[in-house]
C-alpha cells in the first residue's frame, strides 16, 4: 500500500471560483453507449487533456504505456497493468499516452449499486461491508492498483467482453445487461482479491476520500427527501446551515450545476426509477417527484431523457435499448 500524506485525503479545490466553474461536467448520455454503461478504448476515446468531472463512476484499465492520474490533490502513476477508479463529480484527468492501450469504462450509480438507495454525494459515508464495490473508488487517492502480466491479460479480456456486449442489438439487451455487470464485478473482485487487506486498513484509518463539503451533502439530502414539495434555494440553504449565496457558490463549485439543475436532475432520476420498477402511472410519478401537471412532467422528461415517460417504461419492459420514436 502507498498511503497518501494527510494533506491529500481531501479533494484540493482549484484556486478560484472562476477556475472551478470552468471545469467540464460530462453526463452518461454524452459519454456512453447505454443509459447505464459505456466503454471505449484508445481508438475511440475522446481526449481529456484538462481536468474535468462526470456524474458517473469511471474505471481506467491500462494495458500498455505510461501516464499519470491527477485525482483530487494527488498524482498516481499509471503503468501497464494499472487500473484506476474515479468517483462521480471528482475533478481528475488522465493524459492518454502516445502508445497507450487502454479501456475507459463509464458506469451509472444505479447499475453499479442497484440495491443502494443513496445519492452519489452520500456514498463516502457507506461502510465497505455494505457496498464493497465502492472500495477502489474511495481509496484511489492513496493506492495504486497494479497487476502482473497474466492478470492484465484477464483484465483486458473482461474489457473486450464488456465492449462486445455493449454493441449487441436491442433485442439482446437483457442478457447483455446481466453479462456486462458480471464482467464488471469480476474486474472489481480481482482488485479486491489483491488489495482487500489494504482497503480494510484504509477504512480503519479513516482514509476514505471526502470529496464533498458538508453543506453540499446536507443540501443533496434535503432535495432527495423533499422531491414532491416545492423546493427553493432559501429553504435548502436553511437546511444546509449556510446562506443562499454561499450554498449556490458551493453547489456550482462542487458539482458544476445550479440548485435548480440539481433539483430537476434528481426529480428525473427518481422518476426513471419509478417508471422502471413500479406500476404507478406517469401522472402519479410526475406528482410524487414534484413536476405537478402530467403535461409538464412529460415535457421536462422528454427534454432531459429524449423520450416520453411511457416510451421509457416500455423500453425496459421489452428489454430494448434507448432508441426512442415517440
- pLDDT at site 158: 97
Mean pLDDT across the stretch 175-194?
Answer: 95
Q: Which three cell numbers stand for residue 51?
A: 481536468
Residue 5 reports pLDDT greater than 50: no
Residue 53 reports pLDDT greater than 90: no
Residue 2 reports pLDDT greater than 50: no
CB atoms within 10 A of CB 278: 12
Check residues 295 and 121 and name the one with the higher pLDDT.
295
Percent of the chain at pLDDT above 70?
A: 85
Q: Which three cell numbers stand for residue 150?
A: 497474466
Residue 321 reports pLDDT greater than 70: no
Q: What digits encode the pLDDT tens for the residues 76-110?
A: 999 999 999 999 888 888 988 888 999 999 998 88
Q: If 0-12 CB within 10 Å is exposed, 13-18 middle and 19+ buried, where does residue 201 land?
A: middle
- pLDDT at site 273: 81
- Mean pLDDT, all residues of the chain: 83
For the chain, the structural domain boundaries read: 6-204, 214-317
**20 band by pLDDT with thresholds 50, 70 and 90:** very low
Mean pLDDT across the stretch 252-268?
Answer: 87
CA 107, 113, 119, 123 torsion: positive or negative?
negative
Residue 50 gets which letter from DSSP?
S
- pLDDT at site 127: 87
- pLDDT at site 185: 97
- C-beta separation of 94 from 66 below 8 A: no
Residue 199 reports pLDDT greater than 90: yes
* 6-204 to CATH, choices 2.60.120.280, 2.70.210.12, 2.40.50.220, 3.40.50.620: 2.60.120.280
CATH class in words for 214-317: mainly alpha
Check residues 261 and 16 and name the one with the higher pLDDT.
261
Mean pLDDT across the stretch 215-235?
Answer: 90
CA distance 99 to 28: 27
Percent of the chain at pLDDT above 90?
A: 43
CA distance 230 to 215: 20
Residue 242 reports pLDDT greater than 70: yes
Residue 95 gets which letter from DSSP?
P
**326 band by pLDDT with thresholds 50, 70 and 90:** very low
**33 band by pLDDT with thresholds 50, 70 and 90:** low
**319 band by pLDDT with thresholds 50, 70 and 90:** very low
Quick one: three-class SS letters along 165-217?
Answer: HHCCCHHHHHHHHHHHHHHHHHHHHHHHHHHHHHHHHHHHCCCCCECCCHHHH
- pLDDT at site 6: 31
**318 band by pLDDT with thresholds 50, 70 and 90:** low
- C-beta separation of 71 from 141 below 8 A: yes
The contacts found for 42-51 with CB under 8 angstroms, 24 or more apart, are 42/96, 42/100, 42/101, 42/102, 45/96, 45/102, 45/104, 47/96, 48/93, 48/94, 49/93, 49/95, 50/24, 50/93, 51/14, 51/23, 51/91, 51/92, 51/93
Amino acid at each position: 500500500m502507498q498511503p497518501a500524506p494527510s494533506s491529500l485525503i481531501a479533494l484540493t479545490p482549484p484556486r478560484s471560483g472562476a477556475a472551478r466553474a470552468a471545469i467540464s461536467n460530462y453526463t452518461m448520455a454524452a459519454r456512453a453507449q447505454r443509459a447505464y454503461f459505456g466503454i471505449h478504448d484508445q481508438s475511440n476515446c475522446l481526449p481529456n487533456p484538462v481536468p474535468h468531472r462526470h456524474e458517473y463512476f469511471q474505471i481506467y484499465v491500462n494495458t500498455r504505456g505510461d501516464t499519470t492520474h491527477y485525482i483530487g490533490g494527488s498524482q498516481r502513476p499509471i503503468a501497464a497493468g494499472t487500473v484506476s477508479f474515479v468517483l462521480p463529480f471528482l475533478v481528475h484527468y488522465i493524459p492518454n499516452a502516445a502508445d497507450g492501450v487502454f479501456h475507459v469504462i463509464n458506469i451509472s450509480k444505479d447499475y453499479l449499486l442497484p440495491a443502494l438507495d443513496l445519492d452519489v454525494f452520500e456514498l463516502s459515508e457507506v461502510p465497505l461491508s455494505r457496498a464493497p464495490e465502492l472500495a477502489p473508488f474511495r481509496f484511489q487517492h492513496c493506492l495504486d492498483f497494479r497487476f502482473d502480466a497474466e492478470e492484465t491479460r484477464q483484465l483486458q479480456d473482461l474489457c473486450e467482453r464488456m465492449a462486445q456486449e455493449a454493441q449487441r442489438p436491442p433485442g439482446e439487451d437483457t442478457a447483455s445487461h446481466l453479462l456486462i455487470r458480471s464482467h464488471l464485478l469480476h474486474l472489481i473482485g480481482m482488485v479486491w482479491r489483491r488489495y482487500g487487506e489494504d482497503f480494510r486498513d484504509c477504512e480503519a484509518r479513516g482514509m476514505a476520500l471526502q470529496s464533498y463539503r458538508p453543506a453540499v451533502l446536507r443540501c443533496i439530502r434535503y432535495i432527495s427527501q423533499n422531491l414532491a414539495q416545492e423546493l427553493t434555494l432559501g429553504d435548502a440553504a436553511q437546511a444546509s446551515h449556510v446562506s443562499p449565496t454561499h450554498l449556490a457558490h458551493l453547489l456550482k463549485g462542487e458539482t458544476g450545476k445550479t440548485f435548480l439543475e440539481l433539483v430537476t436532475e434528481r426529480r428525473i432520476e427518481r422518476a426513471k426509477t419509478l417508471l422502471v420498477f413500479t406500476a404507478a402511472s406517469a401522472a402519479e410519478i410526475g406528482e410524487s417527484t414534484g413536476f405537478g401537471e402530467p403535461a409538464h412532467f412529460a415535457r421536462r422528461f422528454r427534454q432531459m431523457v429524449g423520450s416520453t415517460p411511457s416510451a421509457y417504461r416500455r423500453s425496459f419492459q421489452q428489454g430494448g435499448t434507448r432508441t426512442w420514436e415517440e
